[in-house]
Amino acid sequence: MSEHVILFAGPMGAGKTTAIRALSEIEVVSTEAANSDREAADKDTTTVALDYGEISVNAAEKVRLYGVPGQRRFDFMWSILAERAEGLILLVNADAANPVETAIEYVKEFFALYERGGIVIGLTRADLVPEALIEEYANALADEMPDVLIPVFTVDARSNADMTVLLMTLVANVELKQAVGVRAAPARRAR
């Protein structure tokens, strides 16, 4: 059985744990602690190490889903988990302060994953703001990183259907990059 390892990142309150729960076929392993930083996000608990879930794409393919904590003070977990990931689902809550800048900041932070497999962006809570134009994010990304192609979707992190679209887009990207990488690699001569 082949496997993919996909990372979920994004600011606190973007819906990373919720998205992994919406997708996973196994009970999600969570590391939640009481949230004492109510100014950053008004919720009872927050992830402090990782979330882990699994989903089968078909009989021969499994995807391991890892979520990282949103707060920068846990960035050592970002590096640990990014090391073995092949692609990134970046969730950004559209109703947060400066969501476009936040999205770009995270893309830069996890750019190694773009090069390795790909990044897709899911804008959550977009229904709570008057205008959350995908084009705004796409244009800002194009201005900042002209040669980079990152799909942007609006999603409901609670929706299995929405998150599946995001995940499958990323997995297709990862597989395409891997296929191109294999073809581009010089053929080894058999001894």
Distance CA 12, CA 121 (A): 15
Q: Establish if 111 lies at the interface with another protein (CB under 8 A).
A: no
CB of residue 75 to another protein, shortest distance in Å: 9
The distance of closest approach from Cβ of residue 79 to another protein in the complex, given in angstroms and rounded to an integer, is 12
CA distance 24 to 191: 44
User: Which residue, 165, 180, 173, is CA-closest to 148?
Assistant: 173
Q: How far is the CB of 32 from another protein (least distance, A)?
A: 7
Instruction: In whole angstroms, give the CA distance from residue 155 to residue 142.
Output: 21
**Does 29 engage in binding with another protein (CB under 8 A)?**
yes
What are the tokens at 101? 């800048």
Give, in order, the Cα–Cα distances in Å from 54 to each of 20, 62, 65, 85, 122. Answer: 8, 7, 6, 14, 19
Question: Whose CA is closest to 122, among 107, 144, 143?
Answer: 107
Q: Does 30 bind another protein (CB under 8 A)?
A: yes
Q: What mask of x and - would describe binding to another protein in positions 56 to 85, judged by CB under 8 A?
A: -------------x-x-xx-xx--------
CB nearer to another protein: pick between 20 and 126: 20
- The interface region with another protein, picked from 32-40, 57-65, 99-107, 181-189 by CB under 8 A, is 32-40
The CA distance from 23 to 29, in Å, is: 13
Nearest to 70 by CA among 17, 121, 141: 17
Q: Judged by CB, which is closer to another protein: 77, or 121?
A: 77
Proportion of the chain in helix, strand, coil states, percent, rounded to 5? 40, 25, 35
Q: How far is the CB of 11 from another protein (least distance, A)?
A: 15
Site for another protein contains 189 (CB under 8 A) = no
Site membership for another protein, residue 178 (CB under 8 A) = no
Instruction: Report the nearest approach of another protein to the CB of residue 21 (Å).
Output: 15
* Binding residues for another protein restricted to 33-52, rule: CB under 8 A: 33-38, 46, 48-50
Q: Which residues bind another protein (CB under 8 A)?
A: 29-38, 46, 48-50, 69, 71, 73-74, 76-77
